[in-house]
Amino acid sequence: MSEERFRGERSEGTGAVRAAAAAVTAVAVVTAEALAGDGPLLVGAVPYALGLAVLVLAAGRWPRAALLASVQTVIAFRGAGMSDVGWIWPASAAYFLVAAGDGAGAVRDEAGKRFGPLLRRVPRGLPFAVAVGVFQVLFAANWERYVAGLGGREVVAELGAETLWLALVLAAATAWRNGRNWRREEAAGRERAARERAAEARRRAEAERLRIARELHDVVAHTLTVVGVQLRVAVEALDDEPAEARAALRTAQEVRASAVADLRALIGVLRDPGEDPGGMALAPGRGLDGVADLVEGVRAAGLRAAVETEGDPAGVPAPVALAVYRIVQESLTNAVRHSGGTRVAVRLRYGPEAVRVEIADDGTGIGVGAGAGAGAAEGGAGGGGHGVAGMRERVSVLGGEFAFGPGEHGGHTVRAVIPVPS
C-alpha cells in the first residue's frame, strides 16, 4: 500500500470516526442533562450538545483550537447555570482527537510557514491535551470549591472520576495513534521493499544483458574472423594446393562447430533459469586449456604467434579462466583484423593471488585512439568499441585491472590483472 493511498484511507476512516464521535457527544450530553441535570433542555442542553458536536467535527482541521473551544464551551455553560453535569467528559472526543494527533500534521505544516518560531513553542498532540486537561481540572476544582461552595471531599468525589476518565481517554488515544503509525510504517516498509526488489531485478537484468552481449560478441567476432581468414586461404589455394585448401576448410568447419556449441549453451542459459548465471557452461575448451587452440588458429591465419606461461593454472577458478580465455580470444581477433602486423605474443602468469595476462602485437593498425591493434575495439573511437568494453567489463566484474595501448617496442598491448580468490 503506497503512502498516498494509506493517507487517503486514513482520512476517510478518521472522517467517519469524527462524525460518529460528534453524534455520540450530542446524544450523551442531551441524555445526561435529561436524566440528571436541572438546567433547561431546549435552550440549554440542546444548543450545548450541538455546539460540542460541531467542535468535534471541526477538530479534523483545527484540533487544538477545537479542544480549547470545547473546554471554553463547557466552562461557559457550567458557569451560566445552563448545565450541571460533567466538567471533563463532555469534551472527551476533542481530547481524544488532539491526543491522537488527528489532522494536526497538515495544519502544522501550513501554519509553520507563517508562524514557525511561535508554533514550535506550542505543545503538540498528547502534551497539549494533558496541559489543557490539567488546566480544566484545576479550574473546575476552584470553581466548585470557591464559587459553588462545595467541601474538599465533595470536590474530590465529583472530579476524581472525571480525572480518571480523562486519563483513560488519553491512553486510548495514544494507543490508537501508535497503532496507526505502526500501520503507516509497515505500509511504507512494504513499498520500500518492493522498490528495492524492482531495482535489484533491473540491476540483475542489466548485468545479464551485458554478460550475454559480451559472450555473443566474443563468439561471433572470433568465429567470423577465423572462418573468413580460412575461407580466403582456401580460395587462394584451391587450384594450386588442394590439400591446403581442404585443411583451411576443415579448420573453418571446426571453428564454426565450436561457435555453434557456445551459442547453444548461451541459449540454454536463457531458456532455463536454473542454469549457471555466470556463463560457465560453454563448450569444452573455453578455459585455459583452450588458449593454445586460439593461438593455433591465429597461426593458421598467417600470423606468427607464441604463448608463454608461468606458474600453475590448476588453482585458477572457472570464472577467472573464462575471462582470461575471452581476453586472449578478443585480443587475437583484433590482431588479425586490425593490427596489420606479423607477430603476436601471449604471456600468461599464474600466481597465488592473481593471473596476469599480456597480449602484444607488432602492428600499426589505425592508431590506438581509434581503437586499433591488439587492444582495439571494432571501429570504436577512443577504444570505446564493444570488444574493449567487453574485456574491461569482464575484468572489472572480477575486481581486476585492465589497460590497453601502445607497446614498449611498437605495436599494441593488452594487459589485465585478475585477482584469484583464496
- 176-210 pLDDT per residue, tens: 888 888 888 888 888 888 888 888 888 877 776 77
Q: What is the pLDDT of residues 340-371, one digit of tens each?
A: 678 888 999 998 889 999 998 887 754 443 34
Q: Tell me, what CATH number does 409's domain have?
A: 3.30.565.10
CA dihedral 284, 286, 287, 290 (to 10 degrees): 90
Check residue 118 and give its pLDDT. 46
Where a domain ends, among 197, 232, 256? 197
Q: Greater confidence, 247 or 174?
A: 174
228 belongs to a structural domain: no
- Comparing CA positions, the residue from 43, 39, 129 lying closest to residue 88 is 129
108 belongs to a structural domain: yes
**187 and 297: one domain?**
no
Check residue 218 and give its pLDDT. 65
Q: What is the pLDDT of residues 26-72, one digit of tens each?
A: 888 878 777 776 666 666 678 888 888 888 888 878 888 888 898 88
CA separation, residue 152 to residues 84, 137, 186, 305 (Å): 18, 14, 50, 111
235 belongs to a structural domain: no
123 belongs to a structural domain: yes
Q: Are 222 and 327 in contact (CB under 8 A)?
A: no
Distance CA 216, CA 203 (A): 20
> Beta strand pairing status for 343-350 and 401-406?
unpaired
Distance CA 294, CA 308 (A): 14
Check residue 221 and give its pLDDT. 65
Where a domain ends, among 197, 230, 257? 197
249 belongs to a structural domain: no
In which domain, by residue range, is 402 found? 287-422
- pLDDT bucket at 124, cuts 50 / 70 / 90: low
22 belongs to a structural domain: yes
Check residue 99 and give its pLDDT. 87
Q: Are 341 and 364 in contact (CB under 8 A)?
A: yes
Q: Which three cell numbers stand for residue 37?
A: 441535570
Q: What is the pLDDT of residues 49-62, one digit of tens each?
A: 888 888 888 887 88
Where a domain ends, among 148, 163, 197? 197
Our count of domains for the chain comes to 2
Q: CB count, 10 Å around CB of 212?
A: 15
Average pLDDT over residues 395-410: 82
State the sign of the Cα–Cα–Cα–Cα dihedral 224, 227, 230, 231: negative
The DSSP bridge partners found for residue 305 are 344
Q: Are 215 and 263 in contact (CB under 8 A)?
A: no
Task: Using a cut of 0.75, tell me whether the model's pTM lies above it.
Answer: no
**317 and 415: one domain?**
yes
Check residue 372 and give its pLDDT. 37
Helices (H), 238-360: 242-271, 291-300, 318-334
